[in-house]
Amino acid sequence: MSINAGLGIASFNFEDAKGFWKWVSLCEEGGINSIWQSDRIIDSTPNLEVMSVMAALAGATKKIKFGMNAASLGLRDPILIAKACATIDILSEGRLLPVFAVGSALSRDYSATGKATKGRGKRTDEGLQIIARLWTEDRVDFVGDYYRLEKATINPKPVQNPMPLWVGGSAEAAIERTARWGTGWQAGIETAAEIQPVIRRIKERCAELGREIDEDHFGAGFAVRFGSPDEPIVSKYNKLMQERLGKDPKEYSAIGDAEAMLELLKEFHKAGAHKFILRPIADGHADMIQQTKLLIEELMPRIAELNNED
């Protein structure tokens, strides 16, 4: 078992493409484990389309892994997603980390793309089955409420075997689909106390189904910033999170120094998480670069020390 930490991005916090690629190079050269792009389509905040980012990272990097956090499968055709993921995994030589979730019923992505929110859970369930089978089987026959396949195949298959198929979400339905078809689970914006019973329930359900998910295939994430809670950028972030979650945003972030971040990481680790997506709170390109440098220089060595202790 090990503890790994990647960096997550939602907003496009860069002046242009050159700034983004400079940041990506910094992550790769600095030994960051992975980069994670959030999935948002209809939003006034600038952000990139998640599958396009996966494909771009496949061609622009050599060793860093990258994933979706998490792609809304209720919105997307599973056959096209299965083919896209296999292609990206081939071209990146096995560095794609696919994570799927239902997607929020409150998201404007559904209405804008003409997808009904009703039935999105069932569509996701069927989609996960189809994706998993297309990645491994040469002939797939499937009859569901939303999708039908006859003698379907994709070729080439992904490089990774088995291909990661992580699932997001904490509702009972998400727990069930994780236990049935997932190879891992990724928390949303939740506290350590909130994810602990979810991880326990997934493990229990896996045992009932005769399946097993590796102990270190459970992930969580939180926001981080080297600085002070009194900074304007932190106040702005807290306000947005308060409006979005209706909860105290301080429970979902670590502001201060590497020690503060490490302490929160340890809380999540005790709750059962081993993979982490850290989301830098930053104001613009220069600040994002500086925050990332501090993470590489001050936090990542401390995480490495934890692995050595294990």
Which amino acid does the sequence have at 130?
I
**Residue closest to 137 by CA, chosen among 125, 121, 149:** 149
Helices (H), ranges, the chain: 17-29, 50-60, 78-91, 108-113, 120-136, 172-181, 192-209, 232-245, 258-270, 285-294, 300-309
Q: What angle do CA 39, 44, 46 make, to 5 degrees?
A: 60
Q: Does domain 4-309 have CATH number 3.30.470.10?
A: no
pLDDT at 310: 59
pLDDT at 163: 97
pLDDT at 244: 77
Q: In the Cβ-directed half-sphere of 153, how many Cα atoms lie within 13 Å?
A: 7
**pLDDT, tens only, 179-201:** 999 999 999 999 999 999 999 99
Count of Cβ atoms closer than 10 Å to residue 207 Cβ = 11
Domain ranges of the chain: 4-309
Does the predicted model carry a pTM greater than 0.75?
yes
Q: How far apart are CA 175 and CA 177, in angstroms?
A: 6
Identify whether the C-beta of residue 142 lies closer than 8 Å to the C-beta of residue 133. yes
**pLDDT, tens only, 270-294:** 999 999 999 999 999 999 999 999 9
Sorted by sequence, the CB contacts under 8 Å of residue 216 that are 6+ apart come out as 1, 2, 3, 274, 275
The list of the chain residues with pLDDT below 70 reads 1, 105-106, 310
Q: What angle do CA 158, 164, 168 make, to 5 degrees?
A: 135
